[in-house]
Amino acid sequence: MTYLLFITGLLCTIITIYDMIYTILAPRGAGFIADRISRKVWRFALTLASHDGRSKMLRFIGPLNLLFILLTWIILLWLSNTLMVYSDPHSLWSSSDNEYVQGFVESLYFTSYVLSSMGSGDYTPASDWWLIYTGFISYTGVVFISLGISFLLPVIEAIILKRKVSVIINGLGKNPKQILNNYKHENFKSFCQKLEDLEPELIKLAQNHLAYPVIHYFHSENLYESLSVQLVTLDETMSVILYKIKDENIENRLVVERCYKAMTYYLSTLAAAFIEPKDDEPERPNTNYLNDISKSDAALSNSDDTSLSDRRKLLLAYLQNDGWSWDDIEQEKDEIKLSK
């Protein structure tokens, strides 16, 4: 037996199984293999699209990422187990040729039908050890390949939630200024009511992104469906309310603060997608249209200002990682139209 080949195959198998278990079942983050594939594919695609969030090509990257991850797991399991079988020239017996099977292609073939549980095939294990091993990898194939496919279901549900939350936020207004103008006359009463409904959805979004970071790479070229654009729009609106509007002009400040904290929790998941704050903060919005209900500039303490600045730098990085710019949250969003 070639022990180096056997040990290499065994280690590769263990690493692949660990990556699958951690990615699919762990409540936080993705395994090394899945994470690296997702980030590399997304960054390559974003470069090809010239960092243009409206590029239709980007809508396919999320599904392709999932496909690449699943195929990589399957191929690694296949090749690593093949190395283990191939390491022993007396591992397989061909009854038709009445001799041991020693070719790499034959070992690859044997491993493929055992992992996929397609049947016994033309070759049989030649010793008790390889009989036990064959049964083990057969169960491994059934369990982990099925587990990998089942990984798709919660990811799809999370993507649907992303679109749902994006459209709801878009319904509040097309940009922060419009949202503030829509609700300021009633001291943001209706706005606070809508935030109460959004708060649990934001927390659920955060949990989904922690468990399945690949969700970050599902992109929509429509601004009204883009979660990054809509969340930054909402966050900027809440920042203006909390930092600029007088307390007596906010119907329920506590609700805004709670939703703001839920947003903070969501933003904390961006580290799982390796999104780091930018060095420069976007230009602060002009809020002169709120002069009759706004605080004085002195009301913003240095610590508050630093916290807001760091937050907006992270929001800018979030937008740019999704192919958008800060200008996209200031302009009027696309109208939702009937398909022709």
Digit-coded pLDDT (tens) for 22-49: 888 887 778 889 888 998 999 999 999 9
CA distance 270 to 12: 29
What's the pLDDT score for residue 312? 93
What's the pLDDT score for residue 247? 87
What's the pLDDT score for residue 121? 64
Confidence of residue 133 (pLDDT cuts 50, 70, 90): confident
What's the pLDDT score for residue 302? 54
Nearest to 284 by CA among 130, 176, 140: 176
What's the pLDDT score for residue 141? 76
Q: 80 with 140: CB under 8 angstroms?
A: no
Rounded mean pLDDT, 113-133: 79
Distances from the Cα of 270 to the Cα of 186, 193, 206, angstroms: 34, 27, 9
Rounded mean pLDDT, 55-77: 91
What's the pLDDT score for residue 197? 94
What's the pLDDT score for residue 167? 93
Amino acid at 236: E
Residue 315: half-sphere exposure toward Cβ, Cα within 13 Å: 28
CA distance 127 to 92: 8
| Res. 299: pLDDT tops 60 | no
What's the pLDDT score for residue 320? 93
Q: 207 with 256: CB under 8 angstroms?
A: no
Q: Where are the alpha helices (DSSP H) in the chain?
A: 3-25, 32-48, 61-86, 104-115, 128-150, 152-172, 176-183, 189-211, 227-244, 253-268, 302-321, 327-330
What's the pLDDT score for residue 260? 96
| Res. 300: pLDDT tops 70 | no
Rounded mean pLDDT, 183-211: 93
CB count, 10 Å around CB of 51?
15
Query: What percent of the chain is predicted at pLDDT more than 90?
Result: 46
| Res. 338: pLDDT tops 80 | no
What's the pLDDT score for residue 163? 93
CA distance 311 to 239: 10
Q: 132 with 154: CB under 8 angstroms?
A: no
Q: What is the pLDDT of residues 72-93, one digit of tens each?
A: 988 999 999 999 999 988 888 8
Confidence of residue 116 (pLDDT cuts 50, 70, 90): confident
Rounded mean pLDDT, 320-334: 85
If one compares 285 and 258, the residue with the highest pLDDT of the two is: 258
DSSP for 123-141, written as a single string: EEESSHHHHHHHHHHHHHH
Amino acid at 71: L
Strand partners, 124: 93
| Res. 328: pLDDT tops 70 | yes
Q: What is the mean pLDDT of the chain?
A: 87
What's the pLDDT score for residue 333? 65
| Res. 58: pLDDT tops 90 | yes
Question: What is the CA 143 to chain-centroid distance, rounded?
Answer: 24
What's the pLDDT score for residue 31? 86
- Strand 99-101 versus strand 123-125 pairing type: unpaired
Q: 192 with 257: CB under 8 angstroms?
A: no
Nearest to 180 by CA among 230, 234, 226: 234
**Out of 73-82, 90-99, 203-212, 248-257, least confident range:** 90-99
Phi, psi of 17 (to 5 degrees): -65, -40
